[in-house]
Structure 1
Amino acid sequence: MANRCTHIPEIMLPREGTDLSKWAVIACDQYTSQPEYWAETDRIVGDAPSTLRLTLPEVYLEDADVAERTAQIHETMRRYIADGTLRTLPAGVVLTERWSGGTCPRRGVVLAVDLEAYEYTPGSASLIRPTEKTVVERIPPRLKVRQGACMELPHIMILIDDPDRSIIEPLFEKTDSFEKLYDTDLMQSGGHITGWFIPKGAETDAIEAGLEALCDRDTFNKKYGCTDAQALLPYAVGDGNHSMATAKAYWEETKKNLTEAEQADHPARYALVEVVNIHDESLIIEPIHRVVFGVAADALLGGLTDFYASQGCKAYVADKAPADAAAHCYPFCSAEKSGIYVVENPKWSIPVATMQTGLDAFVEAHSEVKIDYIHGADVVQSLGTKPGNVGFILPDIAKNDLFRGVVFDGVLPRKTFSMGEAHEKRYYMEAKTIVK
């Protein structure tokens, strides 16, 4: 089936009786400037079986002993399999519900996706694509950890755009009929997580069919107001893209030595992920604002206006937003002036792409100017009104605009949106083999 990107894996979990509050540890790419977080995690775990011993927190990625740490990880992986710390479930998926402090839980399905259907290169038309630009320089150090590993533990979250909530959400009405795999608190303010096992069969067939239906061309065109010229995008990598890119690089390396038949079912071809509906109520998507440092307001606004004119847009400063709903508008502040910066007839589909492209062009021509990416309009107001600074408030992002942005503009600009706080990021729980 051309548009089937999913695979029902054989998932590994710790044997019964394991202290899962010590087993589950947050994604390795969090708290990279806070070694004290990881020291405390190490203290909590102690000698207990833990995913801390199977992953390399990126806070240590540039330490002198990274090779020794990596070798130790590979050894622990082999030991956990050999001594039964990890058990392999029959083929199936895990339904997961995570409370991390909000008013509703995040609900997802842990399954595998086909790396043959994923590309991170700019301009890719693959069915699984990143939402933001992949920094290829970040792959090699991560690849060293994966080379020599016999398993993977995912912190990748893949988003689907299912406004009718027809694929994942109905499964939670049937949890009484599924085997409960885990039900545990998560350390370090991670909240609580519950997981149910759905064995390969009619239920997983229905999940895969529902996901495949996201590729229906007529439905897709209607949803995003596009034509067949735009590549289908049923799956967008929301979190863990560099982990996904590393899995892809490892698979490309592995498959060179395999026959076509061997490639078809090789475990490294499939990456374990959590699939979450972008319309899940727990996903709060917040805009990230911009403050520009080292520039006079008139110089920056004039430079932006010239740039947009060169792109066939009309840009100007106004006291209030125009009636034109298609215009992209940004309240701005500086020590000298404030108002609304308006771009009419924008060639980019979402406002953040319009603003970031203009700022990038300005900074490229003025190397002394710097941009910072700010959460919270009050911080923009405080910083933006200092002499030599200009702050721009970006509008809220509609959830399906994330998909529209990738469909029409390619990957979204860096720092497009924020999706959850650090402590809400995925914790490692499930594992899957990547070797034959």
Structure 2
Amino acid sequence: MLTPKGIIVVKTIFEAIGMQLPKVLLPKQGTDMHRWAVIACDQYTSDQAYWQRLEQQTAGNISTLNLIFPEAYLDDEETEERISAINQTMEKYLADGSLEEQPPGFILVDRKTTTTASRKGLIVALDLERYDYTAGAQSLIRATEGTILDRLPPRIKVRQDAAIELPHIMVLIDDPQQTVIEPLFSEKLETVYDFELLENGGHLKGYRVDQPQLIEQIVTALEKLADPDAYHEKYNVDGAPMLYAMGDGNHSFATAKAIWEKLKQEASAPDQVMNHPARFALVELVNVHDSGLDFEAIHRVLFNVNCVHLQQQMKAFFAARKTPLDFTLCSNLEEAQTLAEGNEGAHAFPIVLGGRFGVCIVEKPEYTLTVATLQAFLDHYLEENPSARIDYIHGEKAVTDLGSKTGCVGFYLPAISKHDLFKTIVLDGALPRKTFSMGEADEKRFYLECRKIC
């Protein structure tokens, strides 16, 4: 809109779609972007060597590696010292000009990986007031998987005193007609970054989107997706519309929500706190129908287990539920996968125990998804065997490498269809935790854009 003096005033908060036009922080001109951006902290959690390589590659440079807590180190004794160093570095980067605040606007993202030429996204800030991760929630922003409350405290420790946020959060929209993000690539936009990513991460380009007409175009398209009548016709359901579904970073978004709720509770002036920057969280929006977006399975590996005892426990667990399990040894993973794919009506998944491959077949499963069938057992087993440990793994090779070690077992799971995700969440609610991954590990979002939250 125009003021009487002809100055363009851009609206920055759009309540109907739970969105804010953010003031993004970007590294100062001349920064080595190749070493600035690093991958999401929840990747390579069983591979400290990966993070040690990043330390060597970014040494002497300003880098987002100095602003995050890789989860591979969560069990180390120096946790408090690491968090303190992160907070001090954030303050330093703000004070010495390493980070420069941009005018209000979105960032259009184009990511090339080893498997896709282009995955498109849009950096926005979403309203945490419109998010609810509890079961049965009817919020505008919803969780796609069960939120593990025990995983929030370490993340809260990292964020609660942080001066800035860095998103590895990717939020999905269901836009089959490609009305929100894709049309922006036909516009003439200013390039704000263009560089190769570390460790086989591919290439990343970013474009500034701050023109009032384009902002209005984006908002209008999102409002149409959130229109109650269109929503009800699309999914054939009643209830409040869901516009956004969590893709990657579910627990990071839940952490931001927890801190926001705490700020509200402690506020001396409740009305004023609603303008606090921590009410919003920076994310990358991605269209679930983007041709460059693939859903990959998230596999499981158990550590510190007795393989014979585990097999006995699996058979007993499923027998007690009258969903008997059959285990067949195979000569290799390919044979196990072929056997698993040929069991219509059952839930079948390959497994590797100390280097031996096999396939587990659960007849008459009580759950819709194979991952739910397996996770029900794993939750039970871990509760009964506290010395055992689980990790969630991206990529079959990593499962094979880890599951082939003594005292380890790897489980290979199938991917779900991305085109069914929104309807599944609308009809059935959140999926079992760690059901799907948006790409392999090296395709995950890299930290780059920042935003003040204090």
**TM class by smaller structure:** 0.7 to 0.9
Find the partner of 1:26 among 23, 39, 42.
39
Find the partner of 2:288 among 264, 271, 278.
278
What percent identity do the matched residue pairs reach?
44
Q: What does 1:241-252 align with in structure 2 at a 5 Å threshold?
A: 241-252=250-261
Find the partner of 2:153 among 140, 143, 146.
140
* Residues 152 and 433, structure 1, Cα contact 8 Å, conserved in 2: yes
Letter in 1 for 2:190: E
Gap change, CA 1:371 and 1:16, over 3 Å in 2: closer
Please list the CA deviations of residues 70-107 of structure 1 after superposition, one character each: whole Å capped at 9, or x if unmatched: 12211111111111111110000000011111232111
Aligned position for 1:192: 203
Provide the rounded CA distance (Å) in 1 between the counterparts of 2:411 and 2:72: 31
RMSD across aligned positions (CA): 3.9
Provide the rounded CA distance (Å) in 2 between the counterparts of 1:282 and 1:246: 28
**Corresponding residue SS for 2:238:** coil
Find the partner of 1:254 among 238, 248, 263.
263
Find the partner of 2:230 among 206, 219, 242.
219
Aligned position for 2:418: 399
Provide the rounded CA distance (Å) in 2 between the counterparts of 1:163 and 1:128: 18
Provide the rounded CA distance (Å) in 2 between the counterparts of 1:81 and 1:338: 53
Gap change, CA 1:357 and 1:148, over 3 Å in 2: closer
TM-score scaled to structure 2, two decimals?
0.77
**Corresponding residue SS for 2:132:** coil
Aligned position for 1:178: 189
- How far has the Cα of 1:299 moved from its partner? 6.6
- How far has the Cα of 1:244 moved from its partner? 0.8
Please list the CA deviations of residues 18-61 of structure 1 after superposition, one character each: whole Å capped at 9, or x if unmatched: 10001111111111211111111111111111111111212222
Provide the rounded CA distance (Å) in 2 between the counterparts of 1:34 and 1:80: 28
Aligned position for 2:128: 115
Provide the rounded CA distance (Å) in 1 between the counterparts of 2:74 and 2:314: 40
**Corresponding residue SS for 1:276:** strand
Aligned position for 1:315: none
Q: What does 1:3-18 align with in structure 2 at a 5 Å threshold?
A: 3-18=16-31
Provide the rounded CA distance (Å) in 2 between the counterparts of 1:377 and 1:148: 38
* Residues 155 and 239, structure 1, Cα contact 8 Å, conserved in 2: yes
* Residues 351 and 395, structure 1, Cα contact 8 Å, conserved in 2: no
Aligned position for 1:235: 244
Q: Does 1:91 align with 2:91?
A: no
Return structure 1 stretches of 4+ with deviation > 3 angstroms.
286-293, 295-307, 319-322, 328-335, 337-344, 350-380, 391-396
Gaps in structure 1 of 5+ consecutive residues? 308-318, 323-327, 381-390
Find the partner of 2:442 among 419, 423, 430.
423
Please list the CA deviations of residues 117-148 of structure 1 after superposition, one character each: whole Å capped at 9, or x if unmatched: 11222222211112111111111111111122
Letter in 1 for 2:418: K
Letter in 2 for 1:422: A
Find the partner of 1:294 among 311, 316, 319.
311
* Residues 22 and 187, structure 1, Cα contact 8 Å, conserved in 2: yes
Q: Does 1:434 align with 2:453?
A: yes
Please list the CA deviations of residues 312-361 of structure 1 after superposition, one character each: whole Å capped at 9, or x if unmatched: xxxxxxx9888xxxxx55457899x99987759x8x7x544774587579
Provide the rounded CA distance (Å) in 1 between the counterparts of 2:394 and 2:55: 30
* Residues 112 and 273, structure 1, Cα contact 8 Å, conserved in 2: yes
Letter in 1 for 2:49: E
* Residues 176 and 289, structure 2, Cα contact 8 Å, conserved in 1: yes
Letter in 2 for 1:273: V
- How far has the Cα of 1:261 moved from its partner? 3.4
Q: Does 1:45 align with 2:64?
A: no
**Corresponding residue SS for 1:418:** strand
Aligned position for 1:208: 219
- How far has the Cα of 1:69 moved from its partner? 1.8
Provide the rounded CA distance (Å) in 2 between the counterparts of 1:125 and 1:408: 11
Letter in 2 for 1:213: K
Provide the rounded CA distance (Å) in 2 between the counterparts of 1:423 and 1:234: 28
Letter in 1 for 2:253: M
* Residues 96 and 196, structure 1, Cα contact 8 Å, conserved in 2: yes
- How far has the Cα of 1:210 moved from its partner? 1.6
Letter in 1 for 2:285: V
Provide the rounded CA distance (Å) in 2 between the counterparts of 1:357 and 1:63: 27
Letter in 2 for 1:424: E
Gap change, CA 1:15 and 1:393, over 3 Å in 2: closer
* Residues 278 and 399, structure 1, Cα contact 8 Å, conserved in 2: yes
Aligned position for 1:157: 170
More displaced, 406-415 or 272-281?
Answer: 406-415
Letter in 2 for 1:63: D
Aligned position for 2:327: none
**Corresponding residue SS for 1:183:** strand
- How far has the Cα of 1:164 moved from its partner? 1.4
Aligned position for 1:65: 78
Provide the rounded CA distance (Å) in 1 between the counterparts of 2:395 and 2:168: 27
- How far has the Cα of 1:419 moved from its partner? 2.4
